[in-house]
Structure 1
Amino acid sequence: MPSLNKILLFLSSALATAISVLVLGFSMSIQWVETTMDCTSSGSSFSNGSAVVTLSLFDGTMTRIHCPFFGGQDDFEVFPQLAGIGGTPLVLHGLVVCVLVLCLLFSACSILISLYNSVSNPYETYMGPIGVYVCSSLSASFSVVVLLIFAVNVNNV
């Protein structure tokens, strides 16, 4: 039977990591960026209206306000739109998605290691606290990398 101290240590670690996974999952599901663009007729610097472009991780929305010849709202998928542009934005956005998957993977490993260690023998741990620290720190580090890559990608487009 594991000690109460060991159980509480690893269960609190699993709970903290589960909360961070919920925050990461929520932030992946909401809009990531919103920008306003002016609509101009070709060859003119006169602005007739504006369009608001909102991006989330996989889809986006363009809402046109008083643009010439069209208005309303268009929904689009981010990857095909970026493929039309080509080059760096598509690669960076794909890299963001892949690194986010790695964040979730390392967080899941941290939770599983913590839960296993909370119920294992008192003198036996699987990777111990070091495994939890490594998985959690990799997940946190990749989260920071995602924020930096996404900021570069949005400024690049």
Structure 2
Amino acid sequence: MPSVTKIIHFFLSALLTAISVGLLGFAMSDDWSRTTMDCRGFIINNGSAEITLGLFNGLLVRQTCPSFGNYKDFSVFTELSVIKGASLALHALCVALLVLCLLFSALSILISLYNSVSNPYQTYMGPIGVYTCSSISACLSLLVIILFVLNINVTDMQEQLVPQIGSIDTENLELSNKKSTMLVGYFMLIPYTVLSLGAILAIYLYDHAAYMHRREQEKPTEDAPKEIMMY
């Protein structure tokens, strides 16, 4: 049976990771970005288009672009599969990395709970397993943060989605002044990453304390009184 200290630290690690999984699940179901663009058509020269993107669903709002107001829900992967190219690849990569984040976080929870009720050896089922799984989750989430912003701001994904979803003649349409804003779903990756690192810290503090305790027990005899060492 593990000590009370070990139970507390590993259970805390499992709790932090479980909270991070809940945040990531919420993030994957919420909106990630909103982009607005000025729209110039062949007849009407002042309009706008606003496209809100989640990981799986989106919403296009057009104001005189080129026709009057129009709202249309769409499936992100369905529309991106028509465009193909870098936009689809980056978006699919982000989703795949987030799925891996969930997987490694789940493994981290299982290993932490296992250590809170047993005393496994220092293998992948011990602190090393938590370090590995939680650090991979944190690194992958940081990579998603970078890739998603690049896909939104560097590629022309939105400029291609607006005429495609709205069934607009691209020859009579000019989109300009693109402005993108990251939304709640995207920012939820930050606390997810922080909590994953917090789970690592909880295990590290226990591991370090246990190491120092072992060192104290294995203290060399040179610390003993000289009179005793003479015999």
- TM superposition score normalised by structure 2: 0.62
Which string of whole-angstrom CA distances, capped at 9 and with x for unpartnered residues, describes residues 101-131 of structure 1?
000000000000001110114x656621111
Aligned match of 1:78: 76
Report the 3-state secondary structure (helix = DSSP H, G, I; strand = E; otherwise coil) of the residue aligned with 1:32.
strand
Aligned to 1:7: 7
Report the Cα offset of residue 67 of structure 1.
3.2
Aligned-residue offset at 1:14: 0.1
Q: Aligned to 1:102, what secondary structure does the other structure show?
A: helix
Q: Name the SS for the 1:135 alignment partner.
A: helix
User: Could you tell me whether the CA contact under 8 Å between 2:36 and 2:50 is conserved in 1?
Assistant: yes
Moved more, 100-109 or 15-24: 15-24
Contact 2:57 2:74 in 1 (8 A): yes
2:35 corresponding residue in structure 1: 35
Residues 38 and 47, structure 1, Cα contact 8 Å, conserved in 2:
no
Bigger Cα displacement from structure 2, 76-85 vs 95-104: 76-85
User: Aligned with 2:7: secondary structure?
Assistant: helix
Aligned to 2:52: 54
Q: Specify whether residues 26 and 13 from structure 1 end up closer, same or farther in structure 2 by C-alpha distance, changes over 3 A only.
A: same
Q: Distance in 2 between matches of 1:2 and 1:127?
A: 14
**Whole-angstrom distance in 1 between the partners of 2:54 and 2:35:** 12
SS in 2 for 1:64: strand
**For 1:69 and 1:49, how far apart are their aligned partners in 2?**
9
Following superposition, the deviation at residue 57 of structure 1 comes to: 0.4
Matching of residue 24 in structure 1 with residue 24 in structure 2: yes
- Matched residues in 2 for 1:47 and 1:27: separation? 37
Q: Distance in 2 between matches of 1:53 and 1:26?
A: 21
Q: Match of 1:34, as an amino acid?
A: R
Q: Which stretch shows the higher mean deviation, 79-88 or 6-15?
A: 79-88
The alpha-carbon deviation at position 30 of structure 1 amounts to 1.3
- Deviation string 1:30-49 (CA, Å, 9 cap, x unpaired) is 1111011222113x7x6321
State the one-letter code of the partner of 1:146. V
What amino acid is aligned across from residue 31 of structure 2 in structure 1? Q
5+ unaligned residues in a row in structure 2: which ranges?
157-231
Where in structure 1 are there 5+ consecutive unaligned residues?
none
- The amino acid across from 2:129 in the alignment is G
Q: Aligned partners of 1:84 and 1:47: how far apart in 2?
A: 28
Give the root-mean-square deviation of aligned CA atoms.
1.7
Asked whether the 8 Å contact 1:100–1:143 carries over to 2, the reply is yes
Report the secondary structure of 1:54's partner residue. Answer: strand
Count of residue pairs brought into register by the alignment = 154
Stretches of 4+ moved more than 3 A in 1?
A: 123-126
User: % of aligned pairs identical?
Assistant: 58
Greater relative contact order: 1 or 2 (C-alpha under 8 angstroms, separation 6 or more)? 2
Give the superposition deviation at 1:66.
3.4
Query: How many angstroms does 1:133 deviate by?
Result: 1.0
